Structure 1
Amino acid sequence: MTQTPLSRLPAFDAAQALPEQKAVLDEILSGPRGNLNGPFLGWIHSPELAQHAQRLGAFCRYQTGLSLHHSELAILVTAARWQAQAEWYIHYPIALKAGVPEALAEQIRTGATPQFDEPDDALIYAFTTELYDAKRVSDATYARAVERFGHETTINLVGLLGYYALVAMTLNVFGMRAEGQTTLPFAE
């Protein structure tokens, strides 16, 4: 359990972990993720933040009311907006497996205007990009989201976007890469 040589953080040695750090690691590893790939070895240097963030992340990843397809699409848009190398690297194959078309993912990665086959994909993209670009969501887009997904899931979508923006910021600020990552989806 070590970070890549690019990381700005000190190497983390699980054998030397504090009890609070061990509790976080154990919860992550025994949960639905089952691995520490992503921001967790950065957050572990602040065990209380790590615990809160990983629990929020488990909710945002698995319990928002969105399909895995739509969650992963929103995560890819976030990764592309933040040019988060590890976030894209980790979530791209998950998104493809969940049914996000490869051509759509590539359009999002490169900043091209996406072509949508599914209206719900276009809605997730519109909601996400409006929020990131305008720092707000228009009344029309909000109404479409609530009509399609309901209030609770729309609230959860905002939470998912906030959480994955936090992940992207963590990965970018601390120079973290995904386990096994040898290529970068975005130029540096």
Structure 2
Amino acid sequence: MKAGIERLARGTAVLGGLVLTLVVILACLSIFGRGLNTLGHSGFLPGGLGDALIASGVGPINGDFELVEAGVAFAIFAFLPICQLSGAHAVVDVFTSALPQAVQRWIAAFWECALSAAILLITWRLGVGMEGKIANGETTFMLQFPIWWSYAASFAAALVASIVALWCAYARLREAATGRVLMTDSGGL
């Protein structure tokens, strides 16, 4: 089961990375186009070069901020499962590092369960928000695509995060109870 959870988390992270890469490329192209458009309007270019640049249609990509917003939201949720699985969340263990290993394992299990509950709550509320966006038919301002599409992509990634979070909570509780290491980082231990 662990191998399947790892593949699921890694696959979601790769997909999130691809989307984030496309978002960065989109933003760079839009900024470059905006800069060229500004240069064409500046009067700095000789002869009719500025007018030719403007006439070419160069400019920012229409609705770029809407696509960036949707892509980044998805990427955040897509990276959450691998972060959860690898224990890459911030850990402050100044006081607990001196405690016995068994106590540290139970503390790690407690926080894993708390984080899993938070991820489940976020996933649930994201699903409720998506239902609301579907019901009211809200669209983005510039591109006019339904907002629920962004919610659906983020919700799908959040569902994967929930599955991984539940497995991680189970693994941490089992580690605490048995002392056997099931997760690579073992709660930062």
TM-score, normalised via structure 2 length:
0.32
* Rg larger for: 2
Return the structure number with greater relative CO, CA threshold 8 A, min gap 6: 1
Larger proportion of helix: 2
